[in-house]
Amino acid sequence: MNRSLLLIAASTLLACSAFAQSAPATQPSDPNKPATVNQRRENQQDRIANGVQSGQLTAGETKRLESREANVNREIKAGRAANGGTLTPAERRQVNRQQNRISRSIYADKHNAAQQNYKGEVGARQHNQQQRIAQGIHSGQMTAGEAARSEHRQQAINHQIHADRAANGGTLTGAERRQINHEQNRSSRQIYRQKHNAVTQRP
């Protein structure tokens, strides 16, 4: 087994361990009652995190989903601020419709043909970054907006890797590998800051 495969296997094991230690998604106390707004948001984030961890969601797909989640979160915050900390019934219905649309998008993105590609000489690093983002989403250390920004950067790196390989017969030159590693170092620091700042995904 080569070094890249060993790194991928080790990072996957660590990510799965972190997921197992995280608190389970909040469930309604009465299974016959619909999930609350907060329970629904937590469930959506867990589904996205699982998609990132498994590779079913690409960086671009995650960026788009989390951008939409961030927009819903802002609407919820504004609605509560305008109504003494609660949402009106009409606002709850609107949020539920938006979450239904996002839910369908999560399902579609996780079951389409697009998969996160971790092959090649930089695949282990790509895989490790995605596992760290997935753990941050699942734990609530990263907000939807923060996850969207980190995945936007990962998507740009992925595009660069694809373009460089296409120009060089499917491989990266030594200079290109160094450039990718430099960009991943910057992305790594961003992920760390987002996971350790005071901002969390809150109800």
The pLDDT assigned to 96 comes to 95
The per-residue pLDDT for range 165-191, each reduced to its tens digit, is 999 999 999 999 999 999 999 999 999
DSSP state, 197?
S
C-alpha–C-alpha distance, residues 1 and 132, integer Å: 23
The pLDDT assigned to 124 comes to 94
C-alpha–C-alpha distance, residues 48 and 42, integer Å: 10
pLDDT-flagged residues of the chain (< 70): 1-34, 203
Half-sphere exposure of 159 (CA within 13 A, CB side): 8
C-alpha–C-alpha distance, residues 79 and 138, integer Å: 25
The pLDDT assigned to 69 comes to 97
CA angle 36, 41, 42 (to 5 degrees): 100
The pLDDT assigned to 195 comes to 96
The per-residue pLDDT for range 110-142, each reduced to its tens digit, is 999 999 988 888 999 999 999 999 999 999 999
Residues in the chain: 203
The pLDDT assigned to 35 comes to 75
Nearest to 203 by CA among 87, 90, 107, 51: 87
The number of angstroms, rounded, from the C-alpha of 105 to the middle of its chain's C-alpha atoms is 14
DSSP state, 30?
S
The pLDDT assigned to 119 comes to 84
Residue type, 39: Q
